[in-house]
Chain A
Amino acid sequence: MPKPRPLYSRRGRVEILHGSGGRAMAQLVAELFKVAFDNAWLEQGNDAAVLPQVSGRLVMSCDSHVVSPLFFEGGDIGCLSVHGTINDVSMMGAQPLYLTASFILEEGFLFADLERIVASMASAARDAGVSIVAGDTKVVEKGKGDGVFITTTGIGVLREGIVLSGDLAQPGDRILLSGTIGDHGMAVLSRRENLEFDAPIFSDTAPLHGLVANILDCGARVRVLRDPTRGGLATTLNEIAQQSGVGMLLDESAIPVKKPVEAACEFLGLDPLYVANEGKLVAVCAPEDAVHLLEVMRAHPLAREAAAIGEVTEDSRRFVQMATRLGGRRIVDWLAGEPLPRIC
Chain B
Amino acid sequence: MKYLDEFRDAALAEHISASITREATSSSGYRLMEFCGGHTHAISRYGITDLLPATIRLIHGPGCPVCVLPVGRINQAVRLVQQRDVILCTYADVLRVPCSGQMSLMRARSEGADVRMIYSTKNALQVARENPERQVVFFAIGFETTTPPTAVAVKQAHASGMENFSILCNHVLTPAAMQAILSVRTGKMLDGFVGPAHVSTVIGSKPYERFAAEHSKAVVIAGFEPLDVMQAILMLVRQINQGRATVENEFSRAVTREGNLKAQKLVAEVFELRDAFEWRGLGSISESALKLRPEFSRFDAELKFGVDYVPVRDHKACECAAVLCGEKRPQECRIFGTVCTPENPVGSCMVSSEGACAAYYSYGRFREELT
Contacts and interface: CB of A to CB of B under 8 A. Distances in A.
B51 A327 contact: yes
A337 B226 CA distance: 25
Interface stretch (B8-16, B210-218, B323-331): B8-16
Nearest to B4: A266
A5 interface: no
B50 A329 contact: yes
Given A336-B342, A337-B342, A326 B48 contact: yes
Contacts of B226: 326
Nearest to B11: A327
Nearest to A316: B369
B96 A328 contact: no
Most chain A CB neighbours (cut-off 10 Å) among B46, B47, B353, B366: B47
Question: Contact residue range for chain A?
Answer: 20 to 34
Contacts of A193: 119
Contacts of B362: 331, 333, 336
Nearest to A193: B119
Contact of A259 (B1, B46, B51): B1
A291 interface: no
B231 interface: no
Nearest to B362: A333
A130 B204 CA distance: 62
Contacts of B119: 193, 268
Interface residues of B, number: 32
B49 interface: yes
A331 B366 contact: yes
A163 interface: no
B141 to A, nearest CB: 16
B118 to A, nearest CB: 11
A324 B364 CA distance: 12
Given A193-B119, A266-B1, A327-B17, A319 B8 contact: no
A253 B47 CA distance: 14
A328 B48 contact: yes
Given A336-B343, A339-B92, A331 B363 contact: yes
A268 B117 CA distance: 14
A79 B342 CA distance: 34
Contacts of B50: 327-329
A333 B363 contact: yes
B44 interface: yes
Interface string A303-344: 000000000000001010101111111110100110100000
A268 B353 CA distance: 13
Interface string B40-58: 0000111111110000000
Contacts of B296: none
Interface in A211-255: 253
B361 A330 contact: no
Given A259-B1, A328-B47, A317 B363 contact: no
Nearest to A337: B96
A263 interface: yes
A323 B46 CA distance: 9
A234 B254 CA distance: 33
A263 B2 CA distance: 10
A319 B92 CA distance: 27
A331 B51 contact: no
Interface string A191-225: 00100000000000000000000000000000000
Interface of B: 1, 4, 8, 10, 13-14, 17, 44-51, 92, 96, 119, 226-227, 341-343, 353, 358, 361-366, 369
Given A324-B45, A328-B47, 8 more contacts: A266-B1, A319-B366, A324-B47, A325-B46, A328-B48, A328-B50, A328-B51, A330-B47
Interface of A: 193, 253, 259, 262-263, 266, 268-269, 271, 317, 319, 321, 323-331, 333, 336-337, 339
